[in-house]
Amino acid sequence: MLLAIEYDVMLQFEGITKRYKKAGIIYPALEEVSIRIDKGEFVTVTGPSGSGKSTLLNIAGGLINPDFGNVYFHEQNIYLFNNSEFDDYRKRHVGYVFQQFHLIPYLTVFENIRMVCSGLTVAQQIDSYLEKCSLQPLRNKYPSELSVGEKQRTAFIRAIINHPDLLLADEPTGNLDPLNSRILMSLTKEFNQSGGTVILVSHDQDSKQFASRHITLDSGRLISDQKIT
Amino acid sequence: MNPFKLVIKELFYRKINSLVILLTVIVAATVSVAVFTLSKASENETRKIMREQGLNLYIFPKGTNLIDFFSVNNTPAFSEDYVDVLADSKTFDAVRHLTGILQLKYPDWIDPNGSRHQIVVSGYKDEAVQRFLNKQETMGFDVEPGTVHVGALLSVNIPEGEPFRILGKDGEEHTFEIAKRLIEGKGILDQGVAFHLADLQQLLGMEGQINRIEALGCVCHDGRIKNARMQVQSIFPDLEVTEVGSIAEARENQRLMMNKYGSFLIPFVVLASLLISGLLFYANVNSRRYEMGIFKATGKSNSFIVSIIILKAFLIGLVGSITGFFAGSGISEYFGQKIFRFTATDIEPLWNIFGFAVLIFPVLWMLSSWIPALLATQVDAAGILSGE
C-alpha cells in the first residue's frame, strides 16, 4: 500500500525517454521530458499526432515503462513498484478515460462501474453518480444500447468512482459531439474542483478553457508549459 | 465484481465461442466414456461367454495320455487334497473356480427300459474357495449330495419323476434324485451324469480320488496357460496343465483389440479436442484484448485475469464432462445392446468413472486455457486502449 502522505507535488516526470522500434526503425516518442504536476492541477497536453501525448499519459498510469528516467508519484518512483504495488497504484490512485470508452460489452452500465469498485463502494454511491450524469434510467442497459455520449459518461464514472488522485484522460472528447464534449468536460472540471488532479490529452483547443495549465509536445519534446490564469 | 458472475456473463455473451469449446469437451468426454464403458461391457461379455463355455483349464497328472484324457479313457487318478492345497496357495492366482473332478466311463448302465449303455459319469467336488477370493457363484456343476444332473441323451430314457438308478462297485443299486435334466449341447456330458464327487467316489470305490482339476483361466494378456502351468508346477511338479481353445479366446482377443483401440482413440480424441479448445481459448482471449487492457488499467492483477479465463475453462469442462458422461453412457447403452449378446441388458452408466470424468476434464480444459490465460496477462494495455 502506498503512503497516504499529502504532498503538493503529485506527479513528477524526470528525464523520461521512450522510443518505439518498428521494423528495425527506432521512433522517438518522448525525449528527456521532465514535468512536475502538482496536486489539484488540471493539465491539458496537446500536440500533433505522434508527439508523445498518449505515451506520456500511459507512463503516468504505469502502463508503459520508460526507457530512461523516473516517474514519481508522491515522491515514490512508480517504476520501482512490484506488481501488486503497481496494481494498487492503478486501482486506488489513477482513473483512466479513453477516447474509445472501452466498456465491457456484456456488463450493464451499473456493472461496468461496479467492476472496478473495491468492496467498500456501495451501490448507492454508483447510483448517485449515475443520477448526476443523467444515466440512472440507463442503469441496466448494455453498452450496445447507449449513445456515444452515454458510453463516455459511463466510462467517466468508472474512472472516478474510486476517488482517484489522478484522472488520466486520453482524447476523451474525440468521439463526442460538441454538447456531449461540454458535458464531459464539465464533469471533469467538477472532479478537478473537488481536489482531483487531471491530465487530459486532447486535440480539442476548447479543452484548454477548463485547464489550469497547458503543455505542448512535439516529436517527443516539451515545447511549452504554460500556467493558465 | 464477483469473477464468477463476470465469467458467466462473458460465457453467455460469446455464445458461439463458448458452445464450440463446450462441444470439444463433450466430444472428448463422450468418446472417452463410451469407449471405456464399451470396453468394460466387452470384458463382462467375455467373462460371460467364458462362463457359458465352461471351465477351460485342465490340470491332471504328468504323463497322462491326452487322447485318453479327452476321450475319458480311465486316466490316472490322484488325491483330491491337491485341490485344497492349490486353493490354499499364496502364489497360485492364475485361475478361478478350482474344481476337483472324477470323470470315468461307466460301461454298462441299464436304463429304465432295460437297455444297456456306455455313459460318462462325473463327480464334482464343491468348488474350492481360493484364499484370496470370497466365495463365488459356482461355475461348473453344483451337484448336491444324493442328487444327479442327467445329460440330455440319458434324460430321454428316464421318465419324469423317476430317480436315477445305477449299480455300484459294491454290486448294490444306488438311487439318486434327478435334480436337473441338462439341455443338449454340453458335449460329452450329453451322454453322462453329474454326481457330487463323494457320491461317485463311493459308487466306484475310489474314495478321496479325482483324475482332473478344472478351472477357469484368468482374463489376462500375459499368456494364461503359461502362467498357470508355471504356478501349478511350482507347487506340484507332477501335474500338467492344458487349455481348451474356445470362442472365449477369440472374444478375449477381440476385447484386447478393443482395449488397444481405446488406448489409442481416447488420448487421440482428448488431445485433438484439447488442441482445438486451446486455439479457441486463444481466439477468445485475442478478441478480449481491450477487456484485458481495461482490467489492467483499472488495477486488476494478473492473477485475476488468469483466474477468470481458467474459471471459464473449469466451468465449461465441468458442464462438458457431465454432459459427455451421460451422452457416452447413453451411446454405450444403445450400441452395446446391438453389439453384446449376453450382457446387452447389463450395460449401465459406470458411476465409478463419473467422478473421474468430472475431475479430469475440467482440469484438462483448465490446462488447455493456461497458455492463452498467460498471454492475456501480457497484452499491451497502453497500445490497445490508446488505439495505437
The model's pLDDT over B267-283, given as tens digits with 9 standing for 90+, comes to 888 899 899 989 999 98
Interface test with B, best of A22, A27, A58 (most B CBs within 10 A): A58
**What is the nearest CA distance from B314 to chain A, expressed in angstroms?**
20
**What is the nearest CA distance from B381 to chain A, expressed in angstroms?**
7
User: How far apart (Å, rounded) are the C-alpha atoms in residues A100 and B141?
Assistant: 85
Task: Report, as an integer, the average pLDDT of A160-164.
Answer: 90
Q: Per DSSP, what are the bridge partners of residue A165?
A: none
Set of chain B residues whose Cβ sits within 8 Å of the Cβ of A114: 1
Taking alpha carbons only, the member of B200, B205, B211, B277 closest to residue B240 is B211
Residue-wise pLDDT tens digits, A14-30: 999 999 888 888 888 99
B386 and A98 within 8 Å at the Cβ level: the answer is yes
Cell numbers at B261, concatenated: 483401440
pLDDT higher than threshold 50 for residue A190: yes
Report the residue of chain A nearest B380, measured CA to CA.
A63
Task: Report, as an integer, the average pLDDT of A90-97.
Answer: 91
Is A3 part of a structural domain of the chain? Answer: no
User: How far apart (Å, rounded) are the C-alpha atoms in residues B276 and B21?
Assistant: 8
Residue-wise pLDDT tens digits, B41-82: 877 777 676 666 666 778 899 988 888 888 888 789 999 999
User: How far apart (Å, rounded) are the C-alpha atoms in residues A175 and B383?
Assistant: 18
Per the CB < 8 A criterion, the answer to whether B377 and B293 are in contact is no
Task: Report, as an integer, the average pLDDT of B141-164.
Answer: 90
Residue-wise pLDDT tens digits, B2-19: 889 999 999 999 999 999
Average pLDDT, chain A: 89
The secondary structure of A150-213, three-state, reads HHHHHHHHHHHCCCCCEEEEECCCCCCCHHHHHHHHHHHHHHHHCCCEEEEECCCHHHHHHCCE
Single-letter residue type at B141? F
Confidence at residue A7, expressed as pLDDT on a 0 to 100 scale: 45
pLDDT higher than threshold 50 for residue A13: yes
According to DSSP, residue B343 is labeled S
Is A107 part of a structural domain of the chain? Answer: yes
Is A108 part of a structural domain of the chain? Answer: yes
Confidence at residue B52, expressed as pLDDT on a 0 to 100 scale: 62
Cell numbers at B83, concatenated: 485341490
Residue-wise pLDDT tens digits, B177-204: 999 998 887 778 888 999 999 999 999 9
Q: Which of residues 143-162 of A touch B (CB under 8 A)?
A: 158
Confidence at residue A189, expressed as pLDDT on a 0 to 100 scale: 93
Task: Report, as an integer, the average pLDDT of B144-158.
Answer: 91
Q: What ipTM is given for this predicted complex?
A: 0.86
A90 and B298 within 8 Å at the Cβ level: the answer is yes
Per the CB < 8 A criterion, the answer to whether B314 and B322 are in contact is no
The single residue listed with the C-alpha cell 481536489 is A195
Set of chain A residues whose Cβ sits within 8 Å of the Cβ of B14: 106
Set of chain A residues whose Cβ sits within 8 Å of the Cβ of B299: 87-92, 94, 116
Confidence at residue B72, expressed as pLDDT on a 0 to 100 scale: 84
Confidence of residue B251 (pLDDT cuts 50, 70, 90): low
pLDDT higher than threshold 70 for residue A78: yes
Which residue range forms the structural domain that includes residue A130?
102-163
B290 and A116 within 8 Å at the Cβ level: the answer is no
Interface test with A, best of B290, B308, B386, B388 (most A CBs within 10 A): B386
* Pick from B10, B291, B297: CB nearest A63: B297
A96 and B298 within 8 Å at the Cβ level: the answer is yes
Number of C-beta neighbours around residue B209 at 10 A: 18
Q: In what order do the strands lie in the sheet with A68-73?
A: A25-38, A9-22, A68-73, A76-77
Percent with pLDDT over 70 in chain A = 96
Set of chain A residues whose Cβ sits within 8 Å of the Cβ of B300: 87, 91
Is A142 part of a structural domain of the chain? Answer: yes
Residue-wise pLDDT tens digits, A109-123: 999 999 888 766 578
Task: Report, as an integer, the average pLDDT of B214-222.
Answer: 64
Taking alpha carbons only, the member of B223, B268, B1 closest to residue A104 is B1
Task: Report, as an integer, the average pLDDT of B353-367.
Answer: 92
pLDDT higher than threshold 80 for residue B258: no
pLDDT higher than threshold 90 for residue B229: no
Sequence-ordered list of residues with C-beta below 8 angstroms from that of B294, at least 6 positions apart, any chain: A102, A104, B381, B385
Domain spans, chain B: 3-48+252-385, 57-244
* Pick from B293, B299, B388: CB nearest A87: B299
Set of chain A residues whose Cβ sits within 8 Å of the Cβ of B388: 54
Confidence at residue B43, expressed as pLDDT on a 0 to 100 scale: 76
User: How far apart (Å, rounded) are the C-alpha atoms in residues A214 and A49?
Assistant: 17
Confidence at residue A103, expressed as pLDDT on a 0 to 100 scale: 93
What b/e sequence results for A162-178 when a residue is b if at least 16 CB atoms lie within 10 Å of its CB, and e otherwise? Answer: bebbbbbbbbbbbbbee
What is the count of structural domains for chain A?
1
**What is the nearest CA distance from A49 to chain B, expressed in angstroms?**
11
A58 and B296 within 8 Å at the Cβ level: the answer is no
Query: What is the DSSP secondary-structure string of B32-62?
Result: HHHHHHHHHHHHHHHHHHHHHH---EEEEET
Confidence at residue B247, expressed as pLDDT on a 0 to 100 scale: 52
Of B340 and B352, the one with more pLDDT: B352
Is A97 part of a structural domain of the chain? Answer: no
**What is the nearest CA distance from A102 to chain B, expressed in angstroms?**
7
Confidence of residue A5 (pLDDT cuts 50, 70, 90): very low
Task: Report, as an integer, the average pLDDT of B156-169.
Answer: 90
Question: What is the helix (H) or strand (E) element at residue B280, kind and residue range?
Answer: helix B247-287
Average pLDDT, chain B: 85
Q: Looking only at Cα atoms, what is the longest distance across chain B?
A: 112
Is A62 part of a structural domain of the chain? Answer: no
Percent with pLDDT over 90 in chain A = 55
Report the residue of chain B nearest A118, measured CA to CA.
B1
User: How far apart (Å, rounded) are the C-alpha atoms in residues A112 and A105?
Assistant: 9
Report the residue of chain A nearest B379, measured CA to CA.
A63
Report the residue of chain A nearest B7, measured CA to CA.
A106
Task: Report, as an integer, the average pLDDT of A162-179.
Answer: 89
Q: B8, exposed or middle or buried, with CB in 10 Å at 0-12, 13-18, 19+?
A: middle
Number of C-beta neighbours around residue A225 at 10 A: 15
Of A77 and B42, the one with more pLDDT: A77
